[in-house]
Amino acid sequence: MSTPVPRPLRAALALLGLAVVIALAPAAVADPTAGTPGLAEIASTPTMWTPPSSSSTTPPPTSSSVPSSTMPPVPDENIARGGVAQASSTFPGYSAAKVNDGDTATTLGGDHSWANAEGRSPTTNPEWVFVRWSEQRSVGRIVVYTSDGYPLRDFDVQVLHESGGWWDTVRTYNYNTSSKVSLWFAPRKTVGVKILAKVGPSHQPIYTRVNEIQVFAY
């Protein structure tokens, strides 16, 4: 026959059981993603699709600039070789064509040079010989060859203005004694170069001679 448990004892046992249940229950763990959308929310959020950039495969635009009407300079090209020579007068056998035939010999004689006609007076009315070509070219260096023993004493080196209206003097020589004269100047566009001959050699001043004219870009 069982012995009944006193009421105070039953109450104490009930409280003890409740404490055990509470102790055995899993503790609440803080969610590190609290405040962030759950999987269901992420799945329901629409995603905007951004197409890939194609700039890396797009070729750069090509230049549409209009080329200059002036021919580009060519190193060591003697522009005068492509021109036509003319002179104010010509001594028989001393053709103006000699000044741009490519022969730079400074030998005296009609086989190598131009000379003005007899009876002229370059000391009071200068003679001239020039070379002209068809297209504008940039010119910055000129070489003038005259005859050994009969050098051109006084003369101007001139360049035809870009407009074609007049000749610009780029250098003046007085009392020259050399059969080869080289000059440099700021490049300019032109279609012609002229030698304005004023005085021949001291022992023959009324005859002016030019053996060759060379024209370069620089």
The whole-angstrom separation of Cα 138 and Cα 74 is 10
Asked whether the beta carbons of 146 and 179 are under 8 A apart, the reply is yes
Question: Could you give the count of Cα atoms lying within 13 Å of 45 in the half-sphere of its Cβ?
Answer: 9
Which range marks the domain in which residue 174 is found? 79-216
- Total domain count, the chain: 1
Question: To 10 degrees, the CA torsion angle through 106, 107, 109, 111?
Answer: -80
In a structure prediction context, what are the per-residue pLDDT tens digits for the chain, which is 218 residues long?
455 555 555 555 555 554 444 444 444 434 433 444 443 343 344 445 554 444 444 445 444 443 445 667 676 899 999 999 999 999 999 999 999 999 999 999 999 999 999 999 999 999 999 999 999 999 999 999 999 999 999 999 999 999 999 999 999 999 999 999 999 999 999 999 999 999 999 999 999 999 999 999 99
188 occurs within a structural domain: yes
162 occurs within a structural domain: yes
66 occurs within a structural domain: no
35 occurs within a structural domain: no
51 occurs within a structural domain: no
Please enumerate in sequence order all residues whose Cβ is within 8 A of that of 127, keeping only pairs 6 or more positions apart, or say none.
87, 88, 89, 116, 120, 196, 197, 208
The whole-angstrom separation of Cα 85 and Cα 190 is 15
pLDDT at 15: 56
pLDDT at 123: 94
Please enumerate in sequence order all residues whose Cβ is within 8 A of that of 151, keeping only pairs 6 or more positions apart, or say none.
176, 177, 178, 179, 201
19 occurs within a structural domain: no
Q: What's this model's pTM, rounded to 2 decimal places?
A: 0.67
Compute φ and ψ for 182, nearest 5 degrees. -115, 140
Domain harbouring 176, CATH code? 2.60.120.260
The whole-angstrom separation of Cα 114 and Cα 88 is 11
48 occurs within a structural domain: no
**Beta pairing, strands 127-145 & 212-216:** antiparallel
